[in-house]
A and B are shown apart, each in its own frame.
Chain A
Amino acid sequence: GNSVTQMEGPVTLSEEAFLTINCTYTATGYPSLFWYVQYPGEGLQLLLKATKADDKGSNKGFEATYRKETTSFHLEKGSVQVSDSAVYFCALKVGSGGGADGLTFGKGTHLIIQP
């Protein structure tokens, strides 16, 4: 089946530090990969995505590269801000356009940025 493994949290960093949140996956087919962010009391927001190997998704200073050879999609940001504090979910989806499977999520990584 499909599964996503991401690093356990909480991850606590100081403002302007470099961020890496690791994510690896297993999939029965060729997945698209996503990072979602969840702020307290809110639903999930799509942060970035990549649909094929070597694609780099980027948004708001965050980046992740689809690495098929290592089945990974690590999230990075060069300089984090207090406002980046949230829970980050790595996810995959196999198939598109009315495909039968929904998104498969990791357990989430709680990121805390201290001023």
Chain B
Amino acid sequence: DAGVTQSPTHLIKTRGQHVTLRCSPISGHKSVSWYQQVLGQGPQFIFQYYEKEERGRGNFPDRFSARQFPNYSSELNVNALLLGDSALYLCASSLDGGNIQYFGAGTRLSVL
């Protein structure tokens, strides 16, 4: 069975641009969470979606948004990119948003 898949694997953008990152959860999982991992730090929670509804939000500005589709895949959108948005963005899926979360390999975003 496929694990959590994320696309693209790498992305380079310039300040002020917009970016969309994509995530497909493990088959049968209905919850997707997004995390930002800045180099040398632990991941920081951005959003959790369950059954296409936002269930939780971390301490991130409104430039960050997400949605979950009927097939449970998800998109993370970031507007007006800043240099500080450069990071590895991780998607995690779980059956119901519970304790066991499985992570994808991430999308590495570089903002120049």
Contact = CB atoms under 8 A, between A and B. Distances in A.
Contacts of A108: 40-42
A89 B42 contact: yes
A31 to B, nearest CB: 9
Interface in B15-57: 31, 33, 35, 40-46, 48, 50, 55-57
Interface stretch (B66-74, B79-87, B100-108): B100-108
B42 A97 contact: no
A99 B55 contact: yes
A100 B48 contact: yes
A87 to B, nearest CB: 9
Chain B interface size, under 10 / 10 to 19 / 20 to 34 / 35 or more:
20 to 34
Nearest to B6: A43
Contacts, number: 74
Interface in A89-104: 89, 91, 93, 96-104
A27 to B, nearest CB: 13
B105 A42 contact: yes
Contact of B90 (A32, A34, A43): A43
A4, A32, A34, A105: residue with the most chain B Cβ atoms closer than 10 Å: A105
Contacts of B43: 44, 89, 103, 105
Contact of B98 (A4, A36, A97, A100): A97
B58 interface: yes
A45 to B, nearest CB: 7
Given A98-B50, A99-B55, A99-B97, A105 B103 contact: no
Interface of A: 4, 32, 34, 36, 41-46, 49, 51, 89, 91, 93, 96-108
